[in-house]
Structure 1
Amino acid sequence: MRAVFLILLLALAGCATAPRNINNACAVFQQRDGWFNNWYNAAKRTERAYGVPVSVLMATIRVESGFKSNARPPRKKLLGFIPWKRPSSAYGYSQALDGTWQEYKRATGRYGARRSNFADAIDFVGWYHRRSHERNGIALNDAYNLYLAYYSGHSGYANGSWKGNPAIQRAAQKAASMAQTYDAQIRSCRL
């Protein structure tokens, strides 16, 4: 009985760590393909549900959290050295804000969804990108503009708030480049 408990505990502990090679989609999926944690199937389910390619979904999560389940923005510093408040409520793989996550749960009926669960988080990213497509006319395979809308919000994207922010534009370019790399990798890996 103890051996079964120990194996279960080790398996679950492995689920909480970020994959080692996050720049290779095949490696990410191979590290997370098991009985408890099949990321590839979750990504394909999301692609079918919302029409957003797996490569774009994965690139968004790569840029947002580096595939860390408990990622949060760094705390601000009080007096330059005392850890203080976080700049936002972003959390988990998707870095979804509290309010947007609640809106997602209401809209999809996935009331038990958690931002620290990969399948829930990637579904959120697909849902949000689909809404960016519907609200702002962004193509579902346009990783650059989907990321801009993801980061800036639908209204912020529409009014161009991102145009004066080179950091957001660099992050969007990183997402677009990563999506292209992931797409090529996914076509060649054995899943």
Structure 2
Amino acid sequence: MSRTLCVMIMALMLASCGGGYSSPPSNMDNACAIARERPKYVRAFKATERRWGVPVAVQMATIYQESRFRGDARTPYRYALGIIPMGRQSSAYGYSQALDGTWDDYKKSTGKRRAKRDKMRDASDFIGWYMNESNRKVGISLTDARNQYLAYHEGHTGFSRGTYNSKSWLMRVAADVEARAILYESQLSRCRAF
């Protein structure tokens, strides 16, 4: 076997042993299964809850809705005339689907210059920071998954203006986030892995 081929095989083997997760948890409808399968996620969620006060279930429901627990999630491409790619719908990326500008605000505000949107610890901390800002700026309880999600999606100004009221699809999504947070909270209360 040639030396180059050996080096390539070794590089592939090392890359496959990386510390990140390349696929979402196998059972995203069960918070305990997620906790057992991804203990790093649990540590990140708990650290965020301690720092920012956002319940684990609210964080998990938001991440489920935004990225389905995919660290490399991006918005779809836009197409002109149905065939010419015109770039992505937005700069949203990672577990939290944070936009470039909002992510930059988070890094400046927290001093986390090396934070990455495809790392769960940073993404959950971002969600905690943003929801804490929603609590401070517009008075949304940290346990109110529905309204926190609406502010997360529409921004603080949009939430204050009630822009979500004209978006029935978004109201349904926010209700789904609330229902999932309630489900996850119920599961986590009976979970040994947690």
Instruction: Give your verdict on TM over 0.5.
Output: yes
CA shift for structure 1 position 5: 7.6
CA shift for structure 1 position 14: 6.0
**AA in 2 matched with 1:15:** Y
For the pair 1:22 / 2:28, whether they are aligned, the reply is: yes
| In 1: Cα distance, 2:140 partner to 2:147 partner | 7
| In 2: Cα distance, 1:149 partner to 1:88 partner | 17
1:64 aligns with one of 60, 63, 66:
66
1:100-126 deviation line (CA, Å, top 9, x unaligned): 000000000111000000110000001
**AA in 1 matched with 2:66:** E
CA shift for structure 1 position 133: 0.5
Which residue of 2 is the match for residue 125 of structure 1? 127
For the pair 1:74 / 2:76, whether they are aligned, the reply is: yes
For the pair 1:55 / 2:65, whether they are aligned, the reply is: no
| In 1: Cα distance, 2:17 partner to 2:102 partner | 31
| In 2: Cα distance, 1:155 partner to 1:118 partner | 27
CA shift for structure 1 position 8: 5.2
For the pair 1:12 / 2:14, whether they are aligned, the reply is: no
SS in 2 for 1:63: helix
C-alpha change, 1:13 and 1:110, in structure 2 (3 Å) is closer
Stretches of structure 1 that go unaligned for 5 or more consecutive residues are: none
| In 2: Cα distance, 1:19 partner to 1:103 partner | 29
For the pair 1:100 / 2:106, whether they are aligned, the reply is: no
C-alpha change, 1:65 and 1:96, in structure 2 (3 Å) is same
Identity of aligned residues (%): 45
Aligned pairs, number: 186
Which residue of 2 is the match for residue 141 of structure 1? 143
SS in 2 for 1:20: coil
* Stretch moving more, 150-159 or 80-89: 80-89
1:16-37 deviation line (CA, Å, top 9, x unaligned): 211111111111121112xxxx
Tell which structure's C-alpha radius of gyration is larger: 2
**AA in 1 matched with 2:76:** P
Which residue of 2 is the match for residue 150 of structure 1? 152
**Cα RMSD, aligned residues only:** 1.9
C-alpha change, 1:11 and 1:186, in structure 2 (3 Å) is farther
